[in-house]
């Protein structure tokens, strides 16, 4: 075989290699592009649902989702350390306010910019600085069966504050976030959201005033019956 034939053969071989490279390179590039598109789409889904996820970690080909901490134990311990409160309901209520502030985005504007009101502020616990929406946070122990009943009936009844104050605060357009948790473990089962547009005076039911022998004689509380409930989780 002459040198020219060898050169021609080598050239044809290199040409076939180059063609194969471009063919398979284009093939693998198309696959890579599809994978990237799917990955981008998946990340967008997770970003739109950051109330469920607080971290996306990409480790080579693995995507790891870390759920937000769904337990109140640690926050309750911190509240107990920082206060001399004895009331279990007050401690859990304060812990739930901090949980919402640090873990849940505003349902109205999807921003995470809550500020706490001062302790004992009537009927208001948090305000979203971004959209100026006010929220009252409530906590109630429940079982999974009770939560399922709430879902099926789409109603929820809870204890409110002072009757006339609760009625008056309807005009302040306060939304409600209610944490339902397991009593023993303090694990959060679900979070209810009720828009102020769905709260009227018909939802506020007066309770019997305290007797004249009570420490707060004449004080009148109320129960609140919510419907048109949305579930955060």
pLDDT value at position 20? 58
Task: Return the minimum-mean-pLDDT range out of 13-17, 77-81, 141-145, 227-231.
Answer: 13-17
pTM of the model: 0.68
**Residue 62 phi/psi, 5° resolution?**
-100, 140
Residue-wise pLDDT tens digits, 183-224: 999 999 999 999 999 999 999 999 999 999 998 999 999 999
Rounded to whole angstroms, how far apart are CA atoms 31 and 53?
Answer: 28
How remote is the C-alpha of 47 from its chain's centroid? 12
pLDDT value at position 10? 61
Task: Return the minimum-mean-pLDDT range out of 3-12, 99-108, 115-124.
Answer: 3-12
Checking if the pLDDT of 104 tops 70, the result is yes
**Residue 190 phi/psi, 5° resolution?**
-165, 170
**Residues 229, 193 contacting (CB under 8 angstroms):** yes
pLDDT value at position 210? 94
- Give CA angle at 98 (102, 100), nearest 5°: 55
Checking if the pLDDT of 176 tops 70, the result is yes
Residue-wise pLDDT tens digits, 54-90: 433 333 333 332 335 688 999 999 999 999 999 999 9
Instruction: Tell me the range of 35-39, 50-54, 144-148, 157-161 where mean pLDDT is highest.
Output: 144-148
**Residues 154, 193 contacting (CB under 8 angstroms):** no
Q: Give me the chain's average pLDDT, please.
A: 79
Count of residues in the chain:
233
């Amino acid at each position: 075989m002459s040198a020219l034939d060898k050169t021609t053969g080598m050239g044809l071989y290199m040409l076939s290699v180059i063609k194969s490279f471009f063919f398979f390179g284009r093939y693998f590039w198309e696959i890579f592009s599809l994978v990237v598109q799917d990955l981008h789409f998946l990340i967008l889904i997770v970003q739109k649902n950051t109330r469920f996820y607080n971290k996306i970690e990409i480790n080579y080909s693995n995507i790891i989702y870390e759920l937000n901490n769904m337990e109140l134990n640690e926050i309750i311990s911190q509240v107990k350390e920082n206060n001399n409160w004895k009331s279990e309901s007050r401690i859990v209520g304060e812990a739930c306010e901090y949980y919402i502030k640090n873990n849940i985005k505003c349902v109205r504007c999807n921003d995470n910019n809550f500020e706490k009101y001062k302790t004992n502020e009537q009927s208001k616990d948090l305000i979203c600085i971004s959209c100026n929406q006010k929220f009252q946070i409530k906590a109630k122990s429940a079982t999974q069966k009770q939560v399922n009943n709430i879902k099926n009936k789409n109603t929820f009844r809870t204890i409110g504050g002072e009757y006339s104050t609760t009625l008056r605060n309807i005009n302040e357009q306060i939304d409600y976030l209610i944490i339902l948790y397991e009593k023993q473990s303090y694990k959060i089962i679900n979070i209810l959201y009720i828009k102020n547009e769905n709260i009227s005076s018909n939802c506020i039911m007066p309770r019997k005033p305290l007797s004249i022998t009570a420490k707060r004689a004449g004080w009148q509380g109320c129960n609140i019956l919510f419907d048109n409930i949305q579930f955060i989780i």
